[in-house]
Structure 1
Amino acid sequence: MKKMSSGMVSIELIRQGEPEPIYNAAVVVGRGEDAQIFLSDSGGRAEFQYPAPPEELSLMKSSEIRPYSLCEIQISAPGINETYYTGCQVFPGINTVLRCEVQPKIKSVIKKKKTIRIPAHGMWAHSPNNKDGGAFSRELDSVEQIMPVLCKNMLGTPDFLTVHLGRADENALDITVSFSDYIKNISSGILYPTWPEEALRAYILSLISEVRKRVKTGYYRNLKYNFDMAAEKYARYFDGRMTFEPINRITDELICWHLSADGCLLISPWEYVFLTQKGLKSEEILKHLSGGDIMFCQYRNTEQADFTETVKKGCAGSEVKAVQQCLNRIAIHYLTIPFIKDTEGYFGSCTESAIKAYQQQFGLDDSGFIDKTTWQSITYAANAVNKYRNTGRDANTEASLRKKSVIFLGDTGQEVVRLQHFINSISRKFGKRCVPPVLISGEFDERTRDSVNKYQKYKRLPQSGAVDKKTWSMLYDDIADFASIIQKPKKHPGMPVVKGSEGENVIFIQGALNSISKVLKGNGGLNIDGIFGGETEKAVTEVQILFGLQSNGEVDEKTWHALSAEYMDLAGIVSARGYYAEG
C-alpha cells in the first residue's frame, strides 16, 4: 500500500502587542473523535504532522483534485481569547507556518470566540476544476492579470508598508507590515510551495520588483489614499494567512534584490513552472520572459521614507510603528536602549525613553523627538545590525569556543559579564518568561544560574545551570541575527590597516566612515587626510560595535569588507549581478 503523504504544521503563538510567546496553550487540531491536542512549548511553538494529497497534483494545472488539505485549528489558554483558524493549507513535504497573535482577555469585556477564515489558495480558487464552493472558492481575481508598467530601476523602499485589507475603494482596515512579510503573505496565496525552486525564485523576485516599484512611485498615495498597497488583481494580503517555509526562505534571500527591466514579468505563475520543466534556471526564465533585456540589482535600503515633520509624544501612525519595530531590533544588541513592548504605533513614554536612549548612544541631540536625522539614523542602524551581526559561526568564534571553559555558580570575571549580556539579549528576543534578564555584575549568582537553567530547558539541553561548551555554542548562535556579509566589493590590502598607517587605503577607510557617520549622526566628523590617527581608530571601533565585529579599532579583512560594501551602497553603487547563491 502506498504510504500517505503528509506535511508539517508549525504554530507560533504570541500575545497581541507583546513579544513574549504563550506557554502551555492548548492547540486542538480537527474536530470530534479525530481531534488531536498539542501543547505549546516555552517558545510558544507547537508542531504536528498532517495528512496531505500527493505532490504531483500541485504540478498539474488541470488537476481536478485540490492539491492541499485543509486543517482546522483551535487555540485556547488561560488569559487569552479563544481563537479558531479554518482553511489552513497543508502541502505534502512542506512546512506550513502559522503565526498566531491572540488577544489577551480583558475582565470587563466579554468576547466571543474569534474565527479566522483563511481564503482558498489563488491557484485553486481560479481553477476551472474547483468545485469546493463556499467561502473559500473565489476570494481573488485572476492572478494572470498583468500589472501596469511603472518606471524601472527605482531604489529605496521603506522597511514597512501600510496595507489596506481590501480593494482601494472598499471600506477595510489599514495595517502596518514589514515589506518581507507582505511578500511572504501574498506569495503564499498565489504560488504552490511544492513547485520547483527555480520557478519560485524567479516569480518571487519579479513580485518583489513590481511591488517595490508600485510603493516607490506612490501609486495609491498619489490617488489620495493613506496606504501603500491594497488588494490587487494579482494578489491580496490576508491578515492571518499561513506561509510556507520554501517561500519564506527564498523571500529572505531575495528581499534585497530587484529587477531592472522594461515591462512587467508578472504573467501567469504556471508559465514559470512550465519553463522550469523545460530545464531553465531562474535567471534564464527571467531573461526569457524579458527578451534578454534585464539586470539584477541590489536594493539600496539606506534610502528610506522621509519624515516631513517632527513626530513626538502623543502622535500615532504607521511611521511611529516602523520606528518602534526598528528600535526593538537595535535594542537586542544595545542594552542601554529599553525594549518597547507595545509596538502598535502610539508614541508614548516608553517610545520616548527608547528614542532618547538611542540618541544618546549615537551622539544625536537627545530630544526624544523623531526628526529626519533621527529617522535616517534609526533605519540605517536597524538594517546594519541585521546585515552584519555575526556573533555565530565564523572561524574566530569557533576558536574562542574551543578555548572556553565551563563557568558556573560562584565564578566571576569577564566571561560571566559576557554571559550576562548574552542572557539579556536572548531575554529580549524570546521574552523574559522564557529567559529572565539578569543584573550585569560579573558574578555568577543564583539569578544567573536560574536564567541559564531556563535557557537550557528552552533549548532542550541538560539543565545543569552551568555553561559548558554546548551551551556557549547555542548562546552564540541565538544572538546572531544574520550571517556576515556575502559580497566583497573592494579587495582587502592583505594585512590589517591600523593606527599609524598612511596612504590611499586610509583615505578610503575615512571616506567610508564619514558616509556612515552622516547617516547615523548627521555629519561626517573625520578629516580625510590619509593618516590613521586616534579619531579614525575611535570611529572604526564605533562601526565595529554597530556591525557586531571585533571592536579593536583595526581594519581587518571582515571590517574592510563591511566598510567597502556600505561605502558603495551609500554612494549609490549597486551590484548588478551575483544574487544567485551557489548550489
Structure 2
Amino acid sequence: MNEMNPNLPDTPDKGRLKISITSEVTAYPVNDATISISYTGVPDSQLEQLNTDASGQTDTVELAAPPLEYSLNPAIEEQPYAEYTLQVDAPGFEPISIAGAEILPDVTALQNIQLRPLTDPENAENVFVIPAHTLYGVYPPKIPEEEIKPVDESGEIVLSRVVVPEYIVVHDGSPRDTTAQNYYVKYKDYIKNVASSEIYATWPEDTIRANVLAIMSFTLNRVYTEWYRNQGYDFTITSSTAFDHKWIPERNFFDTISAIVDELFSNYLSRPNVRQPILTQYCDGRRVQCPNWMTQWGSKSLGDQGYSPIEILRYYYGDDMYINTAEAVSGIPSSWPGYNLEIGASGDKVLQMQEQLNVIAGAYPAIPKITADGVYGPATEAAVRKFQSVFGLPETGIVDYRTWYKISEIYVGVSRIAELQ
C-alpha cells in the first residue's frame, strides 16, 4: 500500500469522518478534546486538527478515499478504504491513539470514543490498531454449527422469550483464549461494529439490511441459548470469525449501517415453530464458499438487482425464514408507544420523553430545556429537532421509533454511572 498521498491516483474520491467523544465514567460529552488526523502510513503527516464542541462532537471532515468501485466489485483486489490515525487528547483524560480508522468513499465514518479520566499522569496513551476489514484481510472461515440449538437438555435455554439485551459481553479472541479481554458493549453498538467490519457501507441499503438481520439473529441466538455461559464461560459472544463475528475495539462504524441498525435493532430471523432466533451463518462468497448460507458478495449482487431484505435472506436460507420482533428491549425506562409523538400529542409518553430530554439537556447544553407538561408543543419539537441534530438522526422534530430509543439510550447513559458493576 502506498502512503495514501491525496495527489496519488488511488484516492480520487472523498469520504467523511465525524468524531464523538464522551467520558467512560459519566457518559457526558467531552468538550474541547483535540484530535489530530494523519495517514496511518505516515504518522508525522498531520492533515487535520479538530476540536470537540459542547456536545463532544467535531465537525464532519472530508478525507481522501479510494475509488468507490473498489468496494462494489468483488473482482477488484485493491484495498477499498483509506486508513487514518486519530490522536485524541483532552484535559483530565488519558490520551488515546487509533490507527487504521477506515474511510470509504461517499459515506460518513462515525468514530465514537470513550475517554478514561486521567488517574496517573505517567500513564502511556492507549493505542488501538484496527486490523483489516474481513472482506479485504484473511480471517479464519466460520466453523459450521447447527442453526437451531437443542432445547431439550436441562439448563440449555435460560430465557423464556427473546429479549434484546442492553449490553453483551464480547470476548476479544477465540473462546479458549484466556488472555483475551472481555468488553461490555451496548448491543446496538456491537451490531454496528460487526456490520462495519464485515460488509461495506457503500453497498445497497437492502443488502445492508439483510446482513444486519443475519448478524442480529446470530447474536440473539447466542444470547437466548446462553451458548457460551452453558459451557462455563463468562461472556456472550467472541470476536473470532471461526466461532462468531468480527468485532473490533474502538473501530469506527458508518452512517448508512448505523441508521439501519437503529431502524431494525429489535428484529431477528425465525422459522415456523422455532422459538429461538436462527443462528444465521454466512461467508464472503469470494475467498470462501458456503452452500446453504448467505454469501456477503452474493447478497450485494442481489441488492443490486432490487431484491428486498427478506428476498435476499430467503434466497440463501429458504422460503420458511421470517423476520420477527423481540418481545422486549432491556435497559430502557419504557417501550416505544407504537406511534409517533409530534405536535398536538399529549399524555404520559410525551411527559416521560420530555423529562428524559431535560436530563439529557443537563449533559448536552446545546439541547434546550423544556417545560415537562405532557403536551407536545413547538418548544418540545425544537428540543427534539436539536437532539436529532446532535445524535445524527433525521431532523424532523418528530419522535419516531429510532428517536424514541435513542432518547432512551442517551438518557440511561447520562442518568446513571455507566460502569457495569
TM (norm. structure 1) is: 0.53
Partner residue, 1:268: 295
Asked if the contact 2:341–2:400 (Cα under 8 Å) also holds between the matched residues in 1, the reply is: no
Asked if the contact 1:19–1:430 (Cα under 8 Å) also holds between the matched residues in 2, the reply is: no
Distance 1:292 1:243, change over 3 A: same
Which one of 360, 366, 369 corresponds to residue 429 of structure 1?
360
Asked if the contact 1:29–1:36 (Cα under 8 Å) also holds between the matched residues in 2, the reply is: yes
1:362-511 aligned at under 5 Å gives the runs 382-384=333-335, 387-388=336-337, 394-396=342-344, 425-426=356-357, 428-432=359-363, 434=365, 473-478=381-386, 483-484=399-400
Partner residue, 2:4: none
Partner residue, 1:117: 129
Shift in Å, 1:151: 3.8
Report the structure, 1 or 2, having the larger strand content: 2
Shift in Å, 1:383: 4.3
Which one of 162, 167, 174 corresponds to residue 155 of structure 1?
162
Partner residue, 2:118: 105
Letter in 1 for 2:75: S
How big is each residue's C-alpha offset from its partner over 1:405-438, in whole Å with a ceiling of 9 and x where there is no partner? xxxxxxxxxxxxx9xx95x744532554736999
Partner residue, 2:67: 54
Letter in 1 for 2:85: E
Shift in Å, 1:220: 0.5
Say yes or no: does 1:240 pair with 2:240. Answer: no
Partner residue, 2:49: 37
Larger Rg: 1
Say yes or no: does 1:84 pair with 2:15. Answer: no
Asked if the contact 1:185–1:242 (Cα under 8 Å) also holds between the matched residues in 2, the reply is: yes
Letter in 2 for 1:148: E
Asked if the contact 1:21–1:430 (Cα under 8 Å) also holds between the matched residues in 2, the reply is: no
Shift in Å, 1:253: 1.4
Letter in 1 for 2:117: P
Shift in Å, 1:191: 0.7
Letter in 2 for 1:116: F
Letter in 1 for 2:136: W
Say yes or no: does 1:252 pair with 2:183. Answer: no
Say yes or no: does 1:218 pair with 2:226. Answer: yes
How big is each residue's C-alpha offset from its partner over 1:443-462, in whole Å with a ceiling of 9 and x where there is no partner? xxxxxxxxxxxxxxxxxxxx
Letter in 2 for 1:257: N
Shift in Å, 1:275: 2.1
Shift in Å, 1:175: 2.2
Q: Distance in 2 between matches of 1:429 and 1:68?
A: 35
Aligned pairs, how many?
Answer: 345
Shift in Å, 1:118: 1.2
Shift in Å, 1:439: 12
Q: Distance in 1 between matches of 2:36 and 2:230?
A: 46
Q: Distance in 2 between matches of 1:433 and 1:83?
A: 23
Partner residue, 1:231: 239
Q: Distance in 1 between matches of 2:301 and 2:364?
A: 49
Asked if the contact 2:267–2:326 (Cα under 8 Å) also holds between the matched residues in 1, the reply is: yes
Aligned to 1:185, the other structure's residue is in SS state helix
Q: Distance in 2 between matches of 1:438 and 1:272?
A: 45
Q: Which runs of 5+ in 2 are unaligned?
A: 1-6, 151-159, 272-277, 283-293, 392-397, 403-407, 409-421
Distance 1:440 1:189, change over 3 A: closer
Shift in Å, 1:142: 2.8
Q: Which has the higher contact order (CA 8 A, sep 6+)?
A: 2
Q: Distance in 1 between matches of 2:359 and 2:338?
A: 16
1:126-205 aligned at under 5 Å gives the runs 126=138, 140-142=139-141, 146-151=144-149, 155-170=162-177, 171-205=179-213
How big is each residue's C-alpha offset from its partner over 1:136-178, in whole Å with a ceiling of 9 and x where there is no partner? xxxx4236x5443224997334332122121111122222222
TM (norm. structure 2) is: 0.72
Aligned to 2:207, the other structure's residue is in SS state helix
How big is each residue's C-alpha offset from its partner over 1:231-273, in whole Å with a ceiling of 9 and x where there is no partner? 2325222221111111111112111112113774523311211
Asked if the contact 1:388–1:484 (Cα under 8 Å) also holds between the matched residues in 2, the reply is: no
Shift in Å, 1:77: 2.2
Q: Distance in 2 between matches of 1:435 and 1:34?
A: 30
Asked if the contact 1:426–1:478 (Cα under 8 Å) also holds between the matched residues in 2, the reply is: no
Asked if the contact 1:162–1:227 (Cα under 8 Å) also holds between the matched residues in 2, the reply is: yes
Shift in Å, 1:19: 1.9
Letter in 1 for 2:212: I
Say yes or no: does 1:24 pair with 2:32. Answer: yes
Q: Distance in 1 between matches of 2:371 and 2:379?
A: 19
Asked if the contact 2:22–2:56 (Cα under 8 Å) also holds between the matched residues in 1, the reply is: yes
